[in-house]
Amino acid sequence: MNSNQQLLKGSLSVIILKLLEEQERMYGYEITQKVKALTAGQMAITEGALYPALHKLEAEGLLTTETQVVEGRARKYYSLTKDGHTEAVSRISELGIMLENLQRLLTLKPAI
Amino acid sequence: MNSNQQLLKGSLSVIILKLLEEQERMYGYEITQKVKALTAGQMAITEGALYPALHKLEAEGLLTTETQVVEGRARKYYSLTKDGHTEAVSRISELGIMLENLQRLLTLKPAI
DNA sequence: TCAACATACCTACAAGTCTTAGGTATACAG
DNA sequence: CTGTATACCTAAGACTTGTAGGTATGTTGA
């Protein structure tokens, strides 16, 4: 089970919020590709995790959607609401602190 | 729910393995205190998560235990087995990569 | 032509981890 | 003698994610 593509709990929704902070509108498939590209294929968001996460963020009022047909295929674009932006800033900062702490723990030197 | 003390899924067992890499023998309560100290109180391992995690690592053969009474109280010391050491090295490296990827994603600059 | 692959969405179920909320017991300080 | 720190533990539930499916269109190459 522990392929190195596994995500860390709680990070997915923050990643989504972060990507939407940097790019006004994104659709699901685009998000999976972007993450793959940005991590040189080392991280992969599964669709079974992504779509429910998107729907949850939408239900929480953090995202709005707009469906559009492009090249014969339907795309559902997501963007941040005002609340979404606020939450994004807050959650990104929290996760940042968490990552710093984890990195500090992992780079400990033995206290002889 | 989202107190900033939340852990990231999968990180707890790696933290345990890492601490035991740096310190031969540790007991549960000691681990909770060490993590609190090393992160300036920003991260707290709950006992409800820690003890099951320790038991699981032991069941997997990565840790061995030795109980000892100190100052009237029983302490259960955990240390790495040979397999535990191997797994520790591997999991620490994997989590490191994951943290790097997450940090890269979180520190993205907008691509105008 | 038609098979395979990329694009694009979705859900149900299971697996797994963590939090919450308890429990027991000893030592020590006020 | 009450509260706090130390020290262990478990059960139940919440929550997130992975697995494994499903549908459908467009493109590419054999």
User: Which one of A4, A38, A103 has the shortest CB-CB distance to B94?
Assistant: A4
Residues of B in contact with A104 (CB under 8 A): 38-39
Q: What is the CATH number of domain B11-104?
A: 1.10.10.10
What are the pLDDT digits (tens) for A81-98?
999 999 999 999 999 999
pLDDT digits (tens, 9 = 90+) for B96-107: 999 999 999 999
Query: Given this model, what pLDDT does residue A10 score?
Result: 83
Does the distance separating the beta carbons of B104 and A39 come in below 8 Å? yes
C-beta neighbour count of A96 within 10 angstroms: 15
Placement of tokens 């003390």 in the chain: B5
Q: Where are chain B's structural domains?
A: 11-104
Q: What are the phi and psi torsion angles at B27 (to 5°)? A: -115, 165
Question: Distance between CA A81 and CA A58 in Å, rounded?
Answer: 9
CATH, domain A11-99, list 1.10.10.10, 1.25.40.10, 3.40.190.10, 1.10.3720.10: 1.10.10.10
Return the structure tokens found at B20.
Answer: 């035991």
- Could you report the per-residue pLDDT of B16-63, keeping only the tens digit for each? 999 999 999 999 999 999 999 999 999 999 999 999 999 999 999 999
How many angstroms away from the CA of B94 is the closest CA of chain A? 6
